[in-house]
Amino acid sequence: MRNHLKKFVIFAGLLSTLLLGVSGSAIADENHAFPIFRTGVSARALAMGSAYTAVADDASAGYWNPAGLTGVEKFSLTTMLSDNMRYDRQYMYAGLAYNFGTAGWAAFNWVNAGIDEIKGATGSGLDGRTFSADDHGFLFSYGNKLSNLHVGATLKVAYQKVDNYSSTGVGFDAGVKFLLSDNVHLGLVARDLGTKVGRTSVPVSWRAGVAAMAFGGFTFAADVQKVQHRDNVTLYLGSEYDYEFADDYFGAIRGGVSDGDFSIGAGLTVAKRYSIDYAYVTETENFLGENHRLSLSIAF
**Burial of 197 by CB count in 10 Å (0-12 exposed, 13-18 middle, 19+ buried)?**
buried
264, 250 in Cβ contact below 8 A? no
- Alpha carbons within 13 A on the beta-carbon side of 269: 18
pLDDT in tens, the chain (300 residues): 444 443 443 333 334 334 433 333 333 334 455 667 778 899 999 999 999 999 999 999 999 999 999 999 999 999 998 875 555 677 899 999 999 999 999 999 999 987 766 555 556 656 666 666 788 999 999 999 999 999 999 999 988 877 777 888 899 999 999 999 999 999 999 999 988 777 778 889 999 999 999 888 999 999 999 998 888 899 999 999 999 999 999 999 999 999 889 999 999 999 989 999 999 988 766 556 678 899 999 998
> What is the DSSP secondary structure assignment for residue 289, as one 8-state letter?
-
Task: Report the run of H or E that residue 20 belongs to, with start and end.
Answer: helix 2-20
Query: Residue 78's beta-bridge partner residues?
Result: 95, 297
Distance CA 98, CA 56 (A): 15
CA distance 38 to 32: 9
Report the C-alpha gap between 300 and 16 in whole angstroms: 38
| C-alpha–C-alpha distance, residues 112 and 134, integer Å | 7
What is the pLDDT at residue 196? Answer: 78
pLDDT at 7 (0 to 100): 40
Domain 2-299 homologous superfamily, CATH: monomeric porin ompg (2.40.160.40)
Rounded to whole angstroms, what are the CA distances from 205 to 83, 222, 238?
28, 16, 20
Burial (Cβ within 10 Å: 0-12, 13-18, ≥19) of residue 147: exposed
Rounded to the nearest 5°, which phi and psi values hold at 287? -70, -15
Residue 10 parent element (H or E): helix 2-20
Task: Provide the pLDDT for residue 57.
Answer: 95
Residues in Cβ contact with 217 at an 8 Å cutoff, skipping those fewer than 6 apart:
241, 242, 243
Instruction: Report yes or no: 133 and 114 within 8 Å, Cβ to Cβ.
Output: yes
Distance CA 68, CA 100 (A): 15
pLDDT of 17:
36
